[in-house]
């Protein structure tokens, strides 16, 4: 029996994570990236090999994972759809509107396009309890089934491209804008890492700060709902400061929980190591 074959386009952290996951599922994986240096530096593994051309990577692959960012996804998916049949193309970009818009005029033919967004990073080792957003495209039932199979045992949440990007503007774009602005202000005023709270915030932000600036730019700049979300934040800040005594107390009381004392102790252990 012939071995299953897959291609991963994009040798960034998530692309490499997917290559390893597909290899664990029994696929022989070819990984391609425009950056040839990345390919030359790939760890040598029997089941994962570099491909220095797009065609070499995808020709024999039944599954193709596009891990090259939302600005490049539609172009790469279109390239597959126009030249191949019988492929499953999986887009994992963090912003979906540019991808959907870029695919509007393209026929899927005998191919299956699966638009999904795993809400976890390349450090993930266990998929249980993780969430993956799934955006229906053309063959909705088949797409959903493949997404569920690929990410088992993750929880698959079905959303529209618009709803996905609105949620990601609040959950991903806004925190990055806030944290980068906050850390830059601390640096400029020379108060960086003075308090335990500052250290805890920086520790929590490490999942963002270690990622590529290109990924941060993609999450913030290509999401059409980022600007609206930032405006909503500005409105909330103005509302908060209009009556700080009552508003701060109200929000603080709403957010308090029994678990926070234990979380506080855990944070102290981490920042005082």
Residue 226 has pLDDT above 90, yes or no: yes
Computed from CA positions of residues 162, 164, 167, 173, in that sequence, does the dihedral angle turn out positive or negative?
A: negative
DSSP state string for 110-140: T-EEEEEEESS-TT----TT-EEEEE--SSH
| pLDDT for res 105 | 85
Q: What per-residue confidence (pLDDT) applies to 265?
A: 85
Question: In CATH, which superfamily holds the domain spanning 5-159?
Answer: NAD(P)-binding Rossmann-like Domain (3.40.50.720)
Cis peptide before 43 (omega within 30 of 0): no
Q: pLDDT by residue (tens digit) across 120-134?
A: 999 898 999 999 999
CA 194 to chain CA centroid, Å, is: 31
Contact of 168 with 235, CB cutoff 8 Å: no
pLDDT bracket for residue 84 (50, 70, 90): very high
The answer to whether residue 272 scores a pLDDT higher than 80 is no
* 99-111 pLDDT per residue, tens: 999 998 888 789 9
pLDDT (mean) for 233-251: 87
Whole-number pLDDT of residue 53? 95
State how far the Cα of 103 lies from the Cα of 137, in Å rounded to an integer.
9
pLDDT surpasses 70 at 1: no
List, in order, residues 6 or more apart from 217 with CB less than 8 Å away: none
pLDDT in tens, 6-54: 999 999 999 999 999 999 999 999 999 999 999 998 887 889 999 999 9
- Percent of residues in the chain assigned helix, strand, coil, to nearest 5: 55, 15, 30
Cα separation of 169 and 176, whole Å?
10
Residue 204 has pLDDT above 90, yes or no: no
Residue whose pair of structure tokens reads 């229906």 in the numeric block: 136
């Amino acid at each position: 029996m012939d071995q299953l074959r897959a291609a991963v386009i994009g040798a960034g952290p998530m692309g490499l994570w997917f290559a390893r996951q597909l290899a664990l599922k029994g696929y022989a994986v070819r990984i391609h990236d425009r950056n040839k240096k990345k390919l030359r530096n790939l760890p040598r593994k029997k089941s994962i090999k570099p491909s220095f051309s797009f065609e070499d990577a995808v020709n024999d692959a039944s599954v193709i994972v596009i891990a090259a960012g939302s600005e490049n996804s539609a172009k790469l998916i279109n390239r597959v759809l126009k030249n191949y049949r019988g492929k499953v193309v999986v887009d994992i970009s963090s912003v979906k509107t540019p991808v959907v818009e870029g695919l509007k005029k393209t026929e899927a033919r005998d191919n299956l396009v699966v638009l999904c967004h795993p809400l976890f990073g390349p450090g993930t080792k266990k998929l249980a309890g993780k969430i993956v957003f799934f955006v229906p495209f053309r063959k909705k039932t088949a797409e959903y089934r493949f997404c569920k199979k690929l990410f088992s045992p993750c929880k698959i949440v079905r959303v529209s491209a618009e709803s996905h990007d609105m949620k990601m503007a609040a959950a991903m774009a806004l925190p990055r804008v806030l944290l980068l602005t906050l850390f830059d202000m601390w640096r400029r005023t020379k108060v960086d890492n003075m308090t335990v709270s500052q250290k805890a915030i920086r520790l929590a932000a490490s999942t963002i700060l270690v990622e590529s600036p290109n990924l941060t730019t993609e999450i913030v700049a290509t999401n059409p709902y980022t600007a609206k979300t930032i405006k909503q934040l500005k409105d909330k800040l103005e509302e908060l400061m209009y009556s700080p005594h009552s508003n701060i107390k109200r929000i603080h009381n709403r957010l308090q929980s029994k678990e926070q004392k234990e979380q506080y102790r855990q944070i102290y252990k981490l920042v005082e190591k």
